[in-house]
């Protein structure tokens, strides 16, 4: 019946709340809150998470939000994130004969937004200072959300021990606390240990004001609940803190350490005392093989091990881990220069449950080590090889033969890997979903670099890996149109494609992708000199779900091709198009006016008209200098 609201009359509040709770997208929830006053009230009632970035005054925003949302349990304040207020609406034109007072007045909400926008745009040191959360804001947060359980205060330099102590006294139900980059002291951390007896997760990375005193007080207070601790770049936190953790935190499962002040003594204390340890991330230059010998003996439940920049960790430590940590599933080795094939072989033979391996800059690990992984780790699903110059084609042949469940493969600057390896992966790992290759070159006698991965390997991927959703071939200069034709024919589920710097690719290849991959959402064709308007026209017709487009340095793309694409791709959110001589201010205006979802446009400043700036200044980004 016309004029009757069947939904609101038929659905109770409980059912609408249940629907709102199943919406995992914030824009969708925001859109629902605009339907009517009832939905606005219910959406506020059901929301449990808030995210706050750098704004004109976080303290004021916290106070306002506490009045609107009454059931918040998680708050994330991250001052690395920008929060752009929407531009004020243009003044309404007064109709002839209308009342002057009514036309000049505006709604309270729009006048508030105008004031906030003016504050945001005002410069100076005072405005910069107001963009940071202070102790007053933390106290307002505690008073407004006393039942909060998860709190992140990331890079909030003006939050001190005073604010943290006030928070701890009120928010006694805290279970997760992230203080990364906050200059809080021992008194604040001691208060957290005294009042927050349910704390399970604590991140103290880059908290430079802390010492062993504050950490030990917190550990003693939260010993019965603490499960995860992260400490980095805190010069005054030493082995004493870790000894306290090992003695009291019997439930600890996750430990992250990045410090030059930690030695074997501290790590051993945690390993011996915390038998439930499952995840261990370490970047400690003074920790040696002796500590990892104890890890192998005591950490039988260890599932994730990540080691960064170790200078005293060798194959001996790797053998201890392989011998004792039979449940290891995730291994990361980054810049561990003294680990060789022998160490990786020991891990592969002992840890047969491995599902993820990342090797980054370990120059002594070669083909033999990875062959052992292929032979012994059949459950491997993710493999990342970065700057591994000694790993050759036969290693990936063994991976393709033994790791049938592989879904993700990343190769960066691996000079020994080429088409032969890609063919082996394609034939053996037919469930591959993500393939990223960047600059896999080899040098000839004249030190001229040649790409090892070309058409043959990518064609094999296109023919065999039907489930591929992400493909990145950055600067693979032997990959041409024939490769993309094969991908377009065989990989209909492809969502992300990056062929930046593949200068042999032209309109033929991109057209094949447009016709064969209708689910494409992200495309990077920057630095392709053979791509022109024909490609953009086909993309507009074949890829209506496109959201992100990067076409910088494409000299043959013009306003005409761009116009055809944006008229069809209505979901476009970001567009990078710098150094495209064929794109003018008219093309920029077309993108801004045609794409209602556009969030970011990267372009040279001199190509943007005053009208476009007035219309969409908040979404425009410019190069750091005009060239």
- Please tell me the predicted confidence (pLDDT) of residue 503: 93
Per-residue pLDDT at 521 exceeds 80: yes
pLDDT in tens, 133-151: 889 999 999 999 999 999 9
The pLDDT confidence band at residue 4, using thresholds 50, 70 and 90, is low
- Looking at residue 506, its pLDDT comes to 96
pLDDT digits (tens, 9 = 90+) for 188-204: 999 999 999 999 999 99
Q: What is the pLDDT of residues 234-246, one digit of tens each?
A: 889 999 999 999 9
Average pLDDT, the chain: 88
pLDDT in tens, 487-510: 999 999 999 999 999 999 999 999
Flag whether the pTM goes above 0.85: yes
What confidence tier does 543 reach under pLDDT thresholds 50, 70, 90?
Answer: very high
Q: Could you tell me which of 217, 222, 306 has the C-alpha nearest to residue 257?
A: 306
Q: Which long-range contacts (CB under 8 A, 24 or more apart) does 263-266 make?
A: 263/239, 263/287, 264/288, 264/290, 264/291, 265/239, 266/238, 266/239, 266/240, 266/241, 266/242
Whole-number percent of the chain with pLDDT over 90: 71
Q: What separation in angstroms does the CA of 519 have from each of 430, 550, 560?
A: 20, 17, 24
Count of domains for the chain? 1
> Is residue 7 scored above 70 in pLDDT?
yes
The verdict on residue 297 lying in a domain is no
Range of the structural domain that residue 22 is part of: 11-46
State the DSSP code for 87. P
**Phi-psi label, residue 198: left if phi above 0, alpha if psi -120 to 50, beta otherwise:** alpha
The answer to whether position 6 is within a domain reads no
What is the band of 157 on the pLDDT scale with cuts at 50, 70, 90? confident
Distance of CA 466 to CAs 37, 405, 459, 509, 548, Å? 47, 14, 12, 18, 23
| CATH number (domain holding residue 41) | 1.20.1280.50
Q: What is the pLDDT of residue 82?
A: 57
Question: Is residue 26 included in any domain, yes or no?
Answer: yes
Question: Residue 35 domain-assigned?
Answer: yes
Q: How confident is the model at residue 21 (pLDDT cuts 50, 70, 90)?
A: confident
* Structural domain includes residue 18: yes
Q: What is the pLDDT, as a whole number, of residue 239? A: 96
Q: DSSP letters of 483-534?
A: HHHHHHHH-TT--EEE-TT-TB-BHHHHHHHHHH-TT--EEE-TT-TB-BHH
Residue 441: the pLDDT is 65
Local structure of residue 421 (DSSP, 8 states): H
Q: Is the per-residue pLDDT at 35 higher than 90?
A: no
Is residue 281 over pLDDT 80?
yes
Q: Does 593 have pLDDT greater than 50?
A: yes
Q: Does any domain span residue 247? A: no
38 in a structural domain: yes
Asked if 156 contacts 182 with a C-beta cutoff of 8 angstroms, the reply is yes
**pLDDT digit string, tens, across residues 547-577:** 999 999 999 999 999 999 999 999 999 999 9
Residue 126: is its pLDDT beyond 50? no
Distances, alpha carbon 380 to alpha carbons 384, 431, 526, in Å? 11, 12, 33
Eight-state DSSP code of residue 625 = S
Whole-angstrom distance, CA of residue 180 vs CA of residue 231: 9
442 assigned to some structural domain: no
> What does DSSP say about strands 74-82 and 150-154: parallel, antiparallel, or unpaired?
parallel
């Amino acid at each position: 019946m016309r004029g009757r609201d069947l939904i609101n009359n038929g659905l109770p509040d409980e059912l609408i709340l249940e629907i709102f709770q199943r919406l995992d997208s914030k824009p969708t929830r925001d859109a629902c809150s605009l339907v009517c006053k009832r939905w606005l009230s219910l959406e506020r009632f059901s929301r449990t998470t808030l995210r706050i970035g750098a704004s004109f005054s976080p303290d004021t925003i916290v106070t306002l939000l506490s009045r609107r949302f009454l059931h918040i349990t998680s708050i994330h304040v991250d001052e690395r994130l920008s929060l752009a207020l929407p531009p004020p609406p243009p003044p309404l034109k007064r109709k002839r004969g209308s009342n002057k007072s009514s036309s000049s007045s505006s709604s309270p909400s729009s006048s508030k937004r105008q004031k906030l926008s003016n504050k945001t745009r005002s410069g100076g040191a005072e405005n910069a200072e107001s963009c940071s959360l202070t102790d007053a804001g933390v106290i307002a947060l505690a008073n407004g959300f006393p039942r909060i359980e998860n709190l992140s205060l990331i890079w909030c330099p003006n939050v001190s021990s005073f604010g943290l102590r006030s928070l701890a006294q009120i928010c006694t139900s805290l279970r997760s606390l992230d203080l990364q980059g906050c200059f809080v002291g021992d008194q604040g951390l001691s208060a957290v240990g005294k009042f927050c007896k349910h704390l399970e997760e604590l991140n103290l990375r880059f908290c430079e004001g802390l010492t062993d005193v504050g950490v030990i007080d917190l550990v003693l207070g939260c010993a019965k609940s603490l499960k995860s601790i992260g400490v980095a770049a805190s010069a005054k936190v030493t082995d004493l803190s870790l000894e306290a953790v090992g003695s009291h935190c019997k439930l600890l499962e996750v430990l992250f350490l990045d410090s030059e002040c930690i030695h074997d003594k501290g790590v051993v204390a945690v390993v011996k005392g915390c038998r439930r340890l499952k995840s261990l991330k370490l970047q400690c230059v003074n920790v040696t093989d002796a500590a990892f010998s104890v890890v192998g003996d005591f950490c039988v439940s260890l599932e994730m091990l990540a080691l960064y920049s170790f200078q005293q960790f060798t194959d001996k430590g790797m053998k201890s881990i392989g011998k004792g940590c039979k449940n290891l599933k995730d291994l990361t080795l980054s810049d561990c220069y003294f680990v060789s094939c022998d160490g990786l072989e020991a891990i592969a033979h002992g840890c047969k449950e491995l599902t993820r391996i990342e090797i980054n800059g370990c120059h002594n690990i070669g083909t033999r080590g990875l062959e052992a992984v292929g032979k012994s780790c059949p459950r491997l699903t993710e493999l990342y090889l970065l700057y591994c110059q000694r790993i050759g084609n036969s290693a990936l042949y063994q991976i393709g033969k033994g790791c049938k469940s592989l879904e993700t493969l990343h190769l960066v600057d691996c000079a020994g890997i080429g088409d032969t390896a890609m063919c082996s992966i394609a034939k053996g790992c037919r469930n591959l979903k993500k393939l990223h290759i960047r600059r896999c070159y080899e040098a000839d006698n004249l030190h001229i670099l040649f790409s090892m991965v070309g058409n043959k390997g990518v064609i094999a991927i296109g023919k065999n890996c039907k489930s591929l959703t992400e493909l990145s071939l950055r600067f693979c200069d032997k990959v041409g149109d024939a490769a993309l034709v094969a991908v377009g024919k065989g990989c209909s589920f492809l969502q992300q494609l990056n062929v930046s710097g593949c200068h042999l690719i032209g309109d033929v290849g991109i057209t094949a992708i447009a016709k064969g991959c209708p689910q494409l959402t992200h495309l990077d064709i920057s630095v392709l000199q053979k791509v022109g308007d024909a490609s953009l026209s086909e993309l507009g017709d074949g890829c209506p779900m496109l959201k992100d487009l990067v076409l910088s340095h494409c000299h043959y793309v013009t306003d005409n091709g761009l116009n055809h694409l944006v008229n069809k791709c209505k979901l476009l959110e970001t567009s990078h198009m710098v150094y495209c001589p064929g794109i003018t201010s008219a093309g920029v205006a077309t993108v801004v006016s045609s794409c209602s979802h556009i969030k970011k446009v990267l372009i040279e400043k001199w190509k943007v008209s005053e009208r476009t700036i007035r219309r969409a200044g908040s979404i425009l980004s410019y190069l750091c200098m005009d060239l």
